[in-house]
Amino acid sequence: MYSTLHSKLLLLGLAATLLLFACAKKEKKTDTTASKKGSSSGPSSPKIDAWIVSTTSLTDNLELPGTLIANESTPINPEISGRLTYLNINEGKIVGKGALLAKIYDGDLKAQLNKLQIQARVQEQTAKRYEELLKIQGVSQQEYDLAKLQISNLYADMAVVRSNIMRTEIRAPFSGTLGLKQISPGSYVTPASVLTTIRQTSILKLDYTLPERYSNKVEIGRLISFTAEGSEKKYNAKIIATESGVSEDNRTLNVRAQVINNDGKLLPGQFVKVRTNFNPDPNAIMIPSQAIIPQARGKKVAVYRNGIADFVDVQTAARDSAMVQVISGLKVGDTILTTGLMSLKPNGKVQLGKVQ
Cβ pair 266, 229 in contact under 8 A? no
**For the chain, what is the largest distance between any 2 Cα atoms, rounded to a whole number of angstroms?**
194
pTM of structure: 0.61
% of the chain at pLDDT higher than 70: 87
pLDDT of residue 7: 54
Q: Is the pLDDT of residue 45 over 80?
A: no
Strands 351-355 and 47-52 turn out to be: parallel
Chain segment 252-300, per-residue pLDDT in tens: 999 999 999 888 889 999 999 998 877 777 888 889 988 888 888 889 8
What is the residue-wise DSSP string for 49-75? EEEE--EEEE----EEEEEEEEEEEEE
Better-predicted residue by pLDDT, 56 or 207:
207
Between the CA of residue 328 and those of 268, 285, 340, what are the distances in Å? 41, 9, 23
| Radius of gyration (C-alpha) of the chain in whole angstroms | 47
d(CA 151, CA 194): 40
What is the residue-wise DSSP string for 316-356? EEEE-SSEEEEEES--TT-EEE-S-GGG--TT-B-EEEEE-
DSSP class of residue 181? -
d(CA 272, CA 234): 11
% of the chain at pLDDT higher than 90: 44
Q: Any alpha helices (H) in the chain, and if so which ranges? A: 2-40, 107-135, 141-167
Between the CA of residue 234 and those of 56, 223, 240, what are the distances in Å? 30, 13, 19
Chain segment 291-345, per-residue pLDDT in tens: 888 888 889 898 988 888 888 898 887 777 788 888 888 888 888 888 888 878 8
Q: Is the pLDDT of residue 75 over 80?
A: yes
List, in order of start, the domains of the chain with CATH numbers. Answer: 48-59+281-355 (2.40.420.20), 63-69+197-275 (2.40.30.170), 77-189 (no CATH)
Q: Is the pLDDT of residue 35 over 90?
A: no
Measured N-to-C along each axis, helices 141-167 and 107-135 cross at an angle, to the nearest 10 degrees, of 160
In 3D, which of 223, 291, 231 has the Cα closest to residue 264? 231
d(CA 235, CA 224): 9
Chain segment 122-148, per-residue pLDDT in tens: 999 999 998 888 888 888 899 888 989
Cβ within 8 Å of residue 89, ≥6 positions away? 101, 102, 178, 181, 195, 196
Cβ within 8 Å of residue 162, ≥6 positions away? 113
Angle 268-273-275 from CA coordinates, rounded to 5°: 125
